[in-house]
Structure 1
């Protein structure tokens, strides 16, 4: 019974999608420590990343519960169908947010002091689609905190590298979130939901997403020079660029399977590919 409930909660927050920002945070951590940091730091970074991401996603599900119920594409989610109660979701949010603050406290003073800023971003994002089409960028900024936070956890100070890596995540996430949002253009327009696809239309939105991903790729190349990295990292960057091209060629808002591959599956491979190439580069 307990395992079944945990499985349901994992599906609610889409736990498997933790793979999106996690690899970039680990890359930042590895660069900051020039390898693996001490076990305690590594552990609390993982706790912060998992707790923050899943708490934010649970809150997003709760905030969007009425919108999801109206949208045929999302009407079968856990809250609209009554599989979980709203109070349960809020408990998940509270526990995850508390764990995030605890992890920040365990890491260092700067991380602890900045933890309310991160939680504010997690929380504000869920409401942005009601007020601005720039909601995709707000999501990107919230996710960009992962590599910046991981660097701060190791070094306790800001630097150019984590900010560049944060910009990579911002552009990457905003780009594929725009792609995902093209499925709901008509629904968003009819229900006063703000998004780049609803504001600028399908063709222009896909051009914006391509521009974001191109800028992301240029930043990854720039990091090769800034960090004086090796050939294995560069190979990962080249392959990730090829995957992003495939992603954009797959986009078809009328085909849910293709959209899931383009918006989610390929991007999970992109982030893991970059992490693996970074690790190999450090080792060899």
Structure 2
């Protein structure tokens, strides 16, 4: 039983939840104004439910991606050893896992806030749809980023029951960040994507131009971070975070020379976790220092 649970954890790459989770927690912290006016019981309830929403949403998206891409993965030497092509998990068990996580996601969202519950099913379906984008558009990388980027907006709605520009900026920052890194990751499959008629930036533009496009996606992300800091008067902590984010971007694009797959995966993971945690810390410190999210209002 434990081994089976481990296999599902590997299937969805549970550790990669660290990419979006800090963005969601930072947005939650700001939306709740540091939970200053809530009891510890209500705070704990909200935090646990938001974390559970994040986990079940990501489990759903990743398991559906494995189902949708099973035939493609089987033909790609890099992915042929994944759980479905390799037979370590059956398609029925992954479908069941998907269904359970989908039901739990909608339930947890409904327990948080009426609007969150109302939007849960459409958002869940949108999350699943990203698996098909590479079949018809090389914009698939940014759609993946958009799907991941909905996490800070979802956390905001779970607290305040409304849309707002603040979490939408966080969504766009995360979309450009993840979109750029997904392009870098996809350079591994440039030739196989072409052979199978899949649409990706590397398949369309080649490796060299793809890395340039990823770089400019990340530069646009940094520009948004600067605009974000000015609009909401984020203070010294945010500028320090932005400087560290810029350093990470320039390291990845200008100083990382290795084409080794293990090195690429390690750098991909560490850079994403670093950026996400930095953003969360910047948002936490801003509220602790008396930041006002209503500056624009």
TM-score relative to the length of structure 2? 0.91
| Counterpart among 214, 222, 240 of residue 209 in structure 1 | 214
In the TM superposition, residue 254 of structure 1 has moved relative to its aligned partner by 4.1
In the TM superposition, residue 197 of structure 1 has moved relative to its aligned partner by 0.8
Cα-Cα RMSD? 1.6
Query: Aligned runs of 1:56-205 on 2, under 5 Å?
Result: 56-205=61-210
Structure 1 stretch displaced more, 253-262 or 191-200: 253-262
Cα distance in 2 for residues equivalent to 1:115 and 1:253? 41
Query: Is contact 1:179–1:251 with CA below 8 Å preserved after alignment?
Result: no
| Counterpart among 235, 241, 254 of residue 236 in structure 1 | 241
Cα distance in 1 for residues equivalent to 2:4 and 2:255? 35
Query: Is contact 1:252–1:259 with CA below 8 Å preserved after alignment?
Result: no
Cα distance in 2 for residues equivalent to 1:81 and 1:250? 36
Query: Aligned runs of 1:241-260 on 2, under 5 Å?
Result: 241-249=246-254, 254-260=259-265
| Counterpart among 281, 287, 296 of residue 282 in structure 1 | 287
Structure 1 stretch displaced more, 249-258 or 186-195: 249-258
Cα distance in 2 for residues equivalent to 1:219 and 1:41? 29
In the TM superposition, residue 251 of structure 1 has moved relative to its aligned partner by 5.7
SS at match of 1:54: helix
Cα distance in 1 for residues equivalent to 2:164 and 2:230? 15
1:203-235 deviations in Å (ceiling 9; x for gaps): 211111111111111112222222222312221
Q: What is the aligned partner in structure 1 of residue 294 from structure 2?
A: none
Task: State whether structure 2 residue 30 is matched by structure 1 residue 31.
Answer: yes
Q: What is the aligned partner in structure 2 of residue 53 from structure 1?
A: 58
Cα distance in 1 for residues equivalent to 2:206 and 2:60? 31
Structure 1 stretch displaced more, 186-195 or 272-281: 272-281
Unaligned runs of 5+ in 2: 290-297
1:21-77 deviations in Å (ceiling 9; x for gaps): 111111111111111362222221111111101110111011111111111111111
Task: State whether structure 2 residue 8 is matched by structure 1 residue 9.
Answer: yes
Cα distance in 1 for residues equivalent to 2:245 and 2:207? 24
Seen in structure 2, the aligned counterparts of structure 1 residues 266 and 48 have a Cα distance that, compared at 3 Å, is same
Seen in structure 2, the aligned counterparts of structure 1 residues 82 and 252 have a Cα distance that, compared at 3 Å, is farther
SS at match of 1:35: helix
Cα distance in 1 for residues equivalent to 2:256 and 2:214? 11
